[in-house]
Amino acid sequence: MVRKTPPAWNWTGNEEHQHEIKGQEDLDIVAIYKILGLGDGSQFVGNDDPIFAISSALHDYHLNAHPTHVPSFSGRLALVREIHKRAKALLDGIESIGEDSWDDFENSLTSALGQKPSWNGFDEKDREENGGYISREIQMFRDFTSGGVQEFARLTDIVVNEFPNSPDAPKKGRPEKIALQELIRELAWIYERYTDQDAYEGFASVRAEPKSSGSSKPNYEYDSAFFRLVLEIIRKFDREAAPTNNALGWQVRQALTTPSPNPMPMTVTYEPDDEDEDFDEDVDNRN
């Protein structure tokens, strides 16, 4: 039997992130410095340390890859469908109420609120006695039940049909690991900054030693300096994200050969020379 996803009730967007990645280990800082060719890393202080940048990237990855503070898309869809279901049920109920039964609602409202009876619009004597008086609450009730419920049900019908087309709706087929690929792109930026080498340089699937002596089938694994950096970090931080060499290699290839769906804005800083006195004016007069 298929398990139904419960609706995402009471989601405010301020929920805490409490997910703990299974099997997580501390990063091997010495190994990372070695892969980057930075010796023991003692030359770095504060924010200039690549470990600081890597830790920041991993923090963002943790939030994006395991968003326990955000309900699943299926939970949000279930909520939309539940509200639509209840709106339709309310509409069906209201449309089944007999004409004389509305007095039960209005009489109970006026009695509970300590108000005098409102004119119901059908009895001329009642109109004369009450001067056409209709309380604000009764008028609101009449407006809602005479057309408001119908309109609300119509609008929820539109929502429940359109919501599956949301930009963050799961795509059909093999799900992409967007968060992992974004992390790999961030690590590529860090790698290139500290090594002055292209992260994609040398990346390839190469023939490796067979995993068992009885197997004659050639074994291919990905390798490169940057790949070893990613492998070192992922297998410590979140091994299940890409548990094998080939699984991680495929994610690295995707990350480095396809554009990011969430490109970061680029900031360019120009520092003029002392004799470049007219720099600001030249910039202002461009275009």
What is the tens place of the pLDDT at every residue in 186-203?
999 999 999 999 999 999
In 203-284, alpha helices (H): 225-237, 245-257, 279-284
Residues 6 and 70: beta-carbon distance below 8 Å = no
Q: How far from 209 is each of 40, 137, 178, 206, 217, CA to CA, in Å?
A: 31, 81, 31, 10, 10
pLDDT at 228 (0 to 100): 96
Query: What is the rounded CA–CA span in Å between residue 77 and residue 34?
Result: 47
**Helix (H) and strand (E) counts in the chain:** 11, 2
**For the chain, which residues make up each domain, given as ranges?**
29-70+177-257, 73-165
pLDDT computed for residue 287 by the predictor: 42
> What is the distance, to the nearest Å, from the Cα of residue 120 to the centroid of all Cα atoms in its chain?
51
Q: Which of 277, 212, 241, 197 is nearest to 65 (CA)?
A: 241
pLDDT recorded at residue 215: 59
**pLDDT digit string, tens, across residues 62-108:** 988 887 777 888 999 999 999 999 999 999 999 999 988 988 998 89
pLDDT at 122: 47
Task: Work out the angle at residue 234's Cα, subtended by the Cα atoms of residues 231 and 240, and round it to the nearest 5 degrees.
Answer: 115
Q: What is the pLDDT of residues 168-188, one digit of tens each?
A: 888 776 667 889 999 999 999
Report the distance separating Cα 183 and Cα 255, nearest Å. 9
At residue 285, the pLDDT reads 46
For the chain, which residues score pLDDT lower than 70?
Answer: 1-3, 119-132, 173-175, 210-216, 262-287
